[in-house]
Every structure is written in structure tokens, then in C-alpha cells.
């Protein structure tokens, strides 16, 4: 099957819930569009996918993923271009990353025609749900779960792939404050840190809850051996502007998610002639640069967060307060440049945009 000829059965809603969408107050992850895509995998093959009304799932209490965490997901966004049409940002990169996650978690690859073709058809069907305001989008959540009705410990044989969508406003409404975590560990080499597996996020809930009680927004994780090198933030990859260069942790150890927005940012920076260094970055290096006045900006990147300015970092009993967001030259340029491309207001020279 090719993406253009995939036969997807469509069962439309009898009445849309679009009237529930308040364009003046779009909260992330609170409201879901009318339809969802569902595909089943069993006996070694994917069945014909369907687009059906958004609804609850009926699952056995013995369903595998509930007990053993065989669950992965992705995050994609669709935007409204100047002509009012929905366009999707870099879905092929998310498709490839999802299949890397699937391989590591002992799950089947999702074919291109189901992931990309199904997503395009779903977004086109629910295009009224793609908001047009600046900073808004239709958040697209593809995910796969193991659905064997069996509580013995073994790789599952049956799976569900689902795509749901949700109109979204900004994930962070203000610059974020970051606490550097040196007690708990997110990932080790050989583990699943490079995947978008549900367990990576589940294990972060308790540490995140504790630092929010302290007044911080998110955790910056460190390596599991020395707690010396920065990794990623709970919902984002992380970048630091030091002495005019942009630094970000490299992916070599397999402990950091290979972010689509991360890659977009690196590409745009290098095209602009700004030096980007992907390498290990120690906390000591950042502290020394801050004390020398060379650490001038920091920001996180992710599909949900887009470009999130970082206001402050705390570690080693050192509180590093960064310049006001309006003075963050590189961060602000990136936010503007990426928005122009995502909303179709600037030529897409990288083949990042896919029409629904």
C-alpha cells in the first residue's frame, strides 16, 4: 500500500463538538477533536485502520501495557497556513523515531501508510479543529500499546496504534525555572532514554512533583554515573548560549531523546552561521561560564513546548538567573524563524512541511 492509496474506513460523528473550542482560551491537552484513528496488529500483520469518533476504549484489566509498560508515543503538530489549510510539521521524522522506539520496546513497526497517510486523513477530516491564532496548533498524539489479555511476563503479540488530536495553545506561558536533578536518574546507557516510551515519563513524576513543591517548573536531568553532565529537561531537549556559541548535549550515549525540534533548531542555527557544539556539557562548565558572564541564554525545545526560554537554573547551591526574555537574542530569533516556517509564512527549504 502507498500513502496515497491506503483504504481507511471512516465513521464520522453525527454531530461535531467544535462549538466547545474556545479560541480565546486554548489549554494544552484539555479538549480533543471529533475523530481518532485506530489500527490493530495481530497474527503478525496490521489490520485495516479506521477513523472513528473520539471515544473511550474498552480493555481487559489484564491488558499487557497496563502491567508491563509496553507503550510508546509521539508528538506532532499541525498548523494553519495563511490560506487557512492545515499543514503538518516534520511528521516523517516522528514516524521514523516511533519505529526506533518500537524496535527497542519489542513492538512492531508502524507502516508509513498508516502513520503518515492516516494522520493526514485524520487532520484533513478535523481541519476545523486546527486553530489559526499565533502560538496555537493542533497537537497530534500517535501512540501504540500492547493489548494482549495476559498477565504473564513476555513480549506481547497484539497491539493497538491510535492517533488522537487536541487543539493547543502555548505549553509554557512564561519562561521556565529549572532545578538540576542530582539525586534521581532518568536514563542509563543501554536503557530506553532515547525512546518515547511511557515509562520514561512515569518515572519522572515523583521527582517533578517534589521540585514543583520547591517552586521550580521542570527538572534538568544529569548523567547516572557522576551527576556531572547535563542530559535533557523533563519535556524538552536543552540548549545553552555560552560565549556566543550554542551548546547542547550530544546523543552518543543513547540516553537523550533525538528531538525533532532539536534537529530543526540545530539546522537553522548552523545555516545562520552560529556555531553549535553537540558534546558532553558539565555543570561545572556552565557554572564557570555564568560567573565569567559568558553564559547568556538557555532554552528548551520540544514539539509541545516549541522554544521555551529558561529564566533560571539552580544547582550546586548556585542560583543562575538569566537575562530577561526580551534580551535573549538567539532564543527569540529561533522562535520567530521556526514559527514562520511552521505556519507556512516562509518558504520551506528543508521539506519539513507536509500538507494534510
Q: Which residues 6+ apart lie within 8 Å of 122 measured at CB? A: 35, 36, 37, 51, 163, 165
Reply yes or no on domain 9-169 having CATH 3.30.470.10. yes
Q: Computed from CA positions of residues 297, 352, 141, 14, in that sequence, does the dihedral angle turn out positive or negative?
A: positive
Q: Is 112:39 a contact under the CB 8 Å cutoff?
A: no
- Residue 230 CA to residue 220 CA, distance in Å, equals 7
Q: How far apart are CA 64 and CA 330, in angstroms?
A: 45
Q: CA of 139: how far to CAs of 89, 119, 168, 222, in Å?
A: 11, 12, 6, 29
**What is the predicted pLDDT for the residue at 2?**
41
Q: Sketch the domain layout of the chain as residue ranges.
A: 9-169, 176-342
Q: Is 156:70 a contact under the CB 8 Å cutoff?
A: yes
Residue 46: how many CB atoms within 10 A of its CB?
18
Q: Which fold has domain 176-342?
A: D-amino Acid Aminotransferase; Chain A, domain 2 (3.20.10)
Q: Coil, helix or strand for 5?
A: coil
SS3 state at 144: strand
User: CB count, 10 Å around CB of 127?
Assistant: 16
Per-residue pLDDT of the chain (356 residues; tens, 9 = 90+): 344 457 899 999 999 999 999 998 998 899 999 999 999 999 999 999 999 999 999 999 999 999 999 999 999 999 999 999 999 999 999 999 999 999 999 999 999 999 999 999 999 999 999 999 999 999 999 999 999 999 999 999 999 999 999 999 888 778 999 999 989 999 999 999 999 999 999 999 999 999 999 999 999 999 999 999 999 998 899 999 999 999 999 999 999 999 999 999 999 999 999 999 999 999 999 999 999 999 999 999 999 889 999 999 998 788 999 988 888 999 999 999 999 999 999 999 999 999 99
Question: Is the Cα dihedral 354, 140, 343, 236 positive or negative?
Answer: negative
pLDDT of residue 1: 37
- Maximum CA extent, the chain: 63
Please write down the HEC assignment for all residues of 175-198: CEEEEECCCCCCCCCCCCCCCCEH
pTM of the model: 0.95
Rounded distance between C-alpha atoms, residue 220 and residue 28, angstroms: 22
Contacts of 129 (CB under 8 A, 6+ apart): 18, 21, 33, 34, 138, 165, 167
Report the candidate in 106, 112, 80, 81 with the shortest Cα–Cα distance to residue 94. Answer: 112
User: Per 3-state DSSP, what percentage of the chain is helix, strand, and coil (rounded to 5)?
Assistant: 25, 30, 45
User: The cell 543562575 sits on which residue?
Assistant: 320
C-alpha cell at 4: 496515497
DSSP secondary structure letters along 23-42: TTS--TTS---SEEEEEEEE
Burial class (CB in 10 A: 0-12, 13-18, 19+), 109: middle
Taking CA atoms, 77 is separated from 59, 63, 306, 354, in Å, by 28, 29, 10, 11
CA angle (241 as vertex; 185, 92 as ends), nearest 5: 70
Q: Identify the H or E element spanning 76.
A: strand 76-80
Amino acid at each position: 500500500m502507498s500513502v496515497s492509496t491506503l483504504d481507511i474506513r471512516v465513521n464520522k460523528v453525527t454531530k461535531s463538538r467544535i462549538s466547545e473550542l474556545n479560541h480565546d482560551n486554548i489549554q494544552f491537552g484539555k479538549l480533543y477533536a471529533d475523530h481518532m484513528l485506530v489500527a490493530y496488529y495481530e497474527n503478525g500483520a496490521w489490520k485495516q485502520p479506521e477513523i472513528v469518533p473520539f471515544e473511550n476504549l474498552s480493555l481487559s484489566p489484564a491488558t499487557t501495557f497496563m502491567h508491563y509498560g509496553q507503550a510508546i508515543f509521539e508528538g506532532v503538530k499541525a498548523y494553519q497556513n495563511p490560506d487557512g489549510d492545515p499543514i503538518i510539521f516534520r511528521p516523517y521524522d516522528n514516524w521514523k523515531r516511533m519505529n526506533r522506539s518500537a524496535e527497542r520496546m519489542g513492538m512492531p513497526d508502524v507502516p508509513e501508510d498508516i502513520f503518515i497517510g492516516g494522520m493526514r486523513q485524520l487532520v484533513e477530516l478535523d481541519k476545523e479543529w486546527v486553530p489559526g491564532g499565533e502560538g496555537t496548533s493542533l497537537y497530534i498524539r500517535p501512540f501504540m500499546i500492547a493489548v494482549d489479555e495476559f498477565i504473564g511476563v513476555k513480549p506481547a503479540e497484539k497491539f493497538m496504534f491510535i492517533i488522537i488530536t487536541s487543539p493547543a495553545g502555548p505549553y509554557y506561558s512564561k519562561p521556565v525555572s529549572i532545578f538540576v536533578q542530582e539525586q534521581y536518574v532518568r536514563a542509563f546507557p543501554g536503557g530506553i532514554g532515547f525512546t518515547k516510551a511511557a515509562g520514561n515519563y512515569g518515572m519522572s513524576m515523583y521527582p517533578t512533583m517534589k521540585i514543583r513543591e520547591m517552586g521550580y517548573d521542570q527538572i534538568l536531568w544529569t548523567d547516572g554515573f557522576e551527576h556531572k553532565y547535563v542530559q535533557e529537561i523533563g519535556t524538552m531537549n536543552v540548549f545553552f548560549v555560552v560565549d556566543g556559541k550554542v551548546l547542547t548535549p550530544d546523543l552518543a550515549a543513547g540516553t537523550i531523546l533525538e528531538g525533532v525540534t532539536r534537529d530543526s533548531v540545530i539546522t537553522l542555527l548552523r545555516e545562520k552561521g552560529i556555531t553549535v557544539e553537540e558534546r558532553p556539557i558539565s555543570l561545572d562548565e556552565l557554572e564557570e561560564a555564568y560567573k565569567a558572564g559568558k553564559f547568556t541564554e538557555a532554552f528548551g525545545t520540544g514539539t509541545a513546548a516549541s522554544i521555551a526560554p529558561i529564566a533560571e537554573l539552580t544547582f550546586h547551591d548556585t542560583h543562575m538567573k538569566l537575562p530577561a526574555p526580551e534580551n535573549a537574542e538567539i532564543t527569540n530569533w529561533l522562535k520567530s524563524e521556526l514559527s514562520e516556517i511552521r505556519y507556512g509564512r516562509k518558504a520551506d527549504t528543508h521539506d519539513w512541511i507536509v500538507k494534510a
